[in-house]
Amino acid sequence: MGKKPIVAVVLLLGAAAYLVWLATRPPTIVDEGIVYDEDETRAGKAATLAAAGKRSSAQVSIDLDWLLRELMSHDALRRFEAYNKAVRQPALPAHEPLVRLLLRWLDSTDATRHRQAFGLMSRMGDRVLPQLAALHDSPNRRVRTRALSALFTLRKQGKDVDGPSALELLKDPDKCMRDYAMRLVAHGVPYDAALANQLIAWLRPKGAASYYGAEVALARMGPKGVAHLVAILEDPSQDELMLTVLGGLSGAAPEDLVLVLPTIAEYIRSEDEATAEAAINVLIALRGDCEACLPALRHAMQDESFLVVVAALRIMRQMGPRATPALREVLALLDYGDVRVANAASDALAAMKADAKAVIPALGRAIQSEHSVPAAQALAVYGSAGLEELLRQFDAGDEYVQGAVLAGISTLGPEASPAVSRLVRLIEGDDDTLRTAAIHATARIGPRAAPAVSAILQQAYAGHVPDYRAAHALVWIGEAAHDPLREGLRSSSAAVRSMAVRVVMSMEGRTGFALEELGALLGDADEDIRLHAVTAIASAHVGYHDGGMPHIEADASLREPVRELLVRASKDKDPDVCHVAASALRALATDKEGS
């Protein structure tokens, strides 16, 4: 062998040894005069990995000196694990050496370090805002945005902080920084006369090129800022700014708008549709605190534009019972001729909860004329009296009316149990849309819908109802569905057994009631039935805490029976069945170790 190959091998071995040494050496880290001789223990690393593997909202204690050492490590994986552990803390103390490190990371060109630094500093709350605000003149744009946000937050808290004024920031030569500063100003700053005058100078007519958000920023400067905008509204020479100013006022605080309600209300009566709509949007921002505007709103409900009428009705809905003096006008709008207006009127009536004798017949007529789902849902507000009207409309109406009525029955929930017989007829009928809505209504009624169980299952067995939809309804109906499902699992018909086991499987975590029947299906000749059976068995003991279905707790008493059935299934000739059983057994063993 020549010398060159030997030299190459030696160099490769040397390089490999050096890389191993770099990865395993305990580094000495120097940071701003702080020296650490790192000696990480296995326990510390194990604790980090354990914390990374669990999602818990509970507070986890953390050693800040250890965190600082890990974050300054040469090992990227260790830095990442330490960051993950720290960022899950509900709060972190403003540890001075750690803050210094994070401030330096903020100014880093490494986007990951910048993001991690901000993530950790956000866990320190207001305690680090002064240090962040001090970076307002950083040449790094990302750092400046963070610093300006901190600066504005401190000033909103009434603290005197050194730094550029809002007006100076809005004149920054960097357009991106100007736009960011305007967004911060638009979130609200203390009133300043010079700033207010500059914002007024930047106002432009609606649709023209304008300084982004100047009108909103002015409106959010409190009563004095709102007063400036109202003064512009009242100045005839400034008519071109009317829509701009009204748009800004919609962003003002409700307590500031209340002071100028009479002026705003006048614009609802404007013959210009855009002006009336803009004025109504200002009142919508009041979130229902505008009884003083009722006369103007009643006038707006007579407007030729359906947009203005709908906006006025939205305010009525927000006002709720306080809008009752306008009941006559709202009832009249149920016959407006535009379904959007009729629906908005129904929503307003539902919120008003006005006199049932006047409202219920009108809502019933709205269902017949517009097939209005909102009208049916509004009737549900009136409980048994509303249900009586819903059933009357159901019996007299066509399939479209019945579809709207089903929405009202679903809204009523358990109170709608007198409607179950009608729901059964729809479930057994030929209309797929009505059948689906009726099954959903039985789920909302719950255990009182037990008479519908047989119809739901028969339609599922016939292939007219998907397994997941049947399962959803039967879960809400509860124990009344258990015996019929067991009968389906024991059926001599393979098609019935197949659908029954799919329905049970879709009940996720509630399959324990049929464990015996599911175990028997592990010997079924149909491979799909066996696969669905073992899937259902695997979830029998785990409980269920997801949305959309009732929550149940895990049942530890089922663990051993489930394990025995899974062991049986793991010997199945079908590899898919074996795979599901083996995976479930591993999960079962892991759960046992964890407990």
The confidence band for 44, taking pLDDT boundaries of 50, 70 and 90, is: very low
Cα 493 to its chain centre, rounded Å, is: 44
Is 552 or 240 the better-scoring residue by pLDDT?
Answer: 240
- Closest to 367 (Cα-Cα) out of 375, 355, 359: 375
Give ∠ CA 381-385-387 in degrees, rounded to 5: 75
Region 34-59 average pLDDT: 37
Q: What is the structure's pLDDT at 59? A: 44
3-class secondary-structure state, position 558: helix
Statement: residue 449 has pLDDT above 90? yes
Statement: residue 124 has pLDDT above 80? yes
- Closest to 321 (Cα-Cα) out of 367, 388, 381, 265: 381
Percent of the chain exceeding pLDDT 70 equals 84
Q: Please provide the DSSP assignment of 394-422 as one string.
A: HHHS-HHHHHHHHHHHHHHGGGGGGGHHH
User: CA–CA separation, 135 vs 97, rounded Å?
Assistant: 17
CB pairs under 8 A, 24+ apart, for 419-422?
419/387, 419/390, 419/391, 419/394, 419/445, 420/445, 420/448, 420/449, 420/451, 420/452, 421/451, 422/391, 422/394, 422/395
- Contacts with 38 (C-beta within 8 Å, 6 or more apart), sequence order: 26, 27, 28, 29, 69, 73
Q: Which residue has the tokens 């109406």?
A: 397
Q: Give exposure, 346-383, as e/b (b: 16+ Cβ within 10 Å).
A: bbbbbbbebebeebbebbbebbbebbbbbbbbbbbbbe
User: CA–CA separation, 472 vs 201, rounded Å?
Assistant: 60
**Helices and strands (H and E) in the chain: how many:** 35, 2
User: CA–CA separation, 54 vs 38, rounded Å?
Assistant: 26
Q: What is the structure's pLDDT at 199? A: 84
Write down the pTM of the prediction.
0.61
**Tokens (6 digits) for 519:** 């175990």
Q: How many CB atoms lie within 10 A of CB 501?
A: 30
The mean-pLDDT minimum among 153-162, 348-357, 541-550, 585-594 falls in 541-550
User: CA–CA separation, 145 vs 134, rounded Å?
Assistant: 12
Q: What is the structure's pLDDT at 311? A: 81
- Bridge partners of 31? 34
User: CA–CA separation, 7 vs 443, rounded Å?
Assistant: 78
pLDDT per residue over 344-391, tens digit each? 888 889 888 888 888 888 888 888 876 678 889 889 888 889 999 999
Plot region of 330 (φ>0 → left; ψ -120 to 50 → alpha; else → beta):
alpha
Q: What is the structure's pLDDT at 419? A: 93
Helix (H) or strand (E) segment spanning residue 229: helix 223-233
User: Do the beta carbons of residue 384 and residue 417 sit within 8 Å?
Assistant: no
- 81 residue type, one letter: E
User: CA–CA separation, 471 vs 464, rounded Å?
Assistant: 14
- 457 residue type, one letter: L
Statement: residue 313 has pLDDT above 70? yes
28 phi, psi to nearest 5 deg: -100, 125
User: Do the beta carbons of residue 71 and residue 83 sit within 8 Å?
Assistant: yes
User: CA–CA separation, 167 vs 171, rounded Å?
Assistant: 7
What does the mean pLDDT of the chain come to? 80
Statement: residue 451 has pLDDT above 80? yes
Statement: residue 57 has pLDDT above 50? no
Statement: residue 260 has pLDDT above 60? yes
User: CA–CA separation, 92 vs 128, rounded Å?
Assistant: 11
Statement: residue 158 has pLDDT above 80? no
Helix axes 383-396, 356-370, angle to 10 degrees: 30
For the chain, give percent helix, strand, coil, nearest 5: 70, 0, 25
Give how far Cα 484 sits from Cα of 329, 452, 561, Å: 52, 11, 22
Is 248 or 548 the better-scoring residue by pLDDT?
Answer: 248
pLDDT per residue over 182-224, tens digit each? 777 777 777 888 888 888 888 877 655 455 578 888 888 888 8
User: CA–CA separation, 500 vs 522, rounded Å?
Assistant: 14
Q: Which of 9-13, 58-62, 475-479 has the highest mean pLDDT?
A: 475-479
Q: What is the structure's pLDDT at 2? A: 58
Start-to-end CA span in the chain (Å): 62
